[in-house]
Amino acid sequence: ETGVTQTPRHLVMGMTNKKSLKCEQHLGHNAMYWYKQSAKKPLELMFVYSLEERVENNSVPSRFSPECPNSSHLFLHLHTLQPEDSALYLCASSQQRYTFTDTQYFGPGTRLTVL
Amino acid sequence: AQSVAQPEDQVNVAEGNPLTVKCTYSVSGNPYLFWYVQYPNRGLQFLLKYITGDNLVKGSYGFEAEFNKSQTSFHLKKPSALVSDSALYFCAVRGNNNDMRFGAGTRLTVKP
């Protein structure tokens, strides 16, 4: 798991707070992803970045704002969240976004609780 | 659009017995199939993938998966389960549009 790191590991925030999740990959990959994992539901792909360009946004509410300053770092900025946004947020990276055989490698996740 | 189904929320096996975690898929075009494992408070770890070729794919920690095109299945197997295999297992498929779709997960419990 040292290949993809995420901070913080746990976050509790009120609905009016602003916070950011950070992801860093040490694998030399060109693509990075944000997923949301809720209990007993499939992973939901939120955002995809390829070569620092956002290539996918799966109808995610604007209260989630991603940022990819370089190919090694990915942020998810949070503001005015709702309690239903409480979940495990997973970051992943992969070598090439547009290769079918491409394997994604995941970080440990940030457990977010919105009060 | 592609999708996967994991029909069992929970699988229980005794240590030393063989285990199977089921996955079926739906995709247009060639399927590219993956298995991941998630231990408590950890991210998903890649186990194995099927791209093409031999229908039996071997992966990490003694796991293997059998691709069956006629049954559109990709079941995960291990000949002898360990207590430490207890975790949440996810099947995933990538179709021609390159999006990855994950199943809802199957919780495997291996009892001593």
Above 50 in pLDDT, residue A1?
no
A69-113 pLDDT per residue, tens: 998 999 999 999 999 999 999 999 999 877 777 899 999 999 999
pLDDT for the residue B61 = 92
Task: Work out the minimum CA distance from B15 to partner chain A, whole angstroms.
Answer: 25
pLDDT band at B12 (very low <50, low <70, confident <90, very high): very high
B42-82 pLDDT per residue, tens: 889 999 999 988 999 999 999 999 999 999 999 999 999 99
pLDDT for the residue A53 = 79
Q: Is A10 on the interface with B (CB under 8 A)?
A: no
Strand B32-38 versus strand B44-50 pairing type: antiparallel
For residue A39, the chain B residues in CB contact (below 8 A) are: none
pLDDT for the residue B97 = 65
Mean pLDDT computed over B37-41: 90
Above 80 in pLDDT, residue B18?
yes
Residue of B nearest to A111 (CA): B41
Cis before A8? omega within 30: yes
Backbone phi, psi, residue B85, to 5°: -80, -10
pLDDT for the residue A41 = 83
Task: Work out the minimum CA distance from B100 to partner chain A, whole angstroms.
Answer: 8
Strand, coil or helix: B83: helix
A16-73 pLDDT per residue, tens: 889 999 999 999 999 999 999 998 788 899 999 987 777 777 789 999 999 999 989 9
CA atoms within 13 A on the CB side of A101: 4
Above 60 in pLDDT, residue A10?
yes
pLDDT for the residue B91 = 96
CB-nearest to A100 from B43, B46, B98 is B98
Task: Tell me if A48 sits within 8 A of A54, measured CB to CB.
Answer: yes
Average pLDDT of chain B to the nearest whole number: 93
Interfacial B residues in 64-93 facing A (CB < 8 Å): 90
Is the CB of A40 less than 8 angstroms away from the CB of B104?
A: yes
Q: Is A109 on the interface with B (CB under 8 A)?
A: yes
Using CB atoms within 10 Å of the CB of residue A5, give its burial: 0 to 12 exposed, 13 to 18 middle, 19+ buried: middle
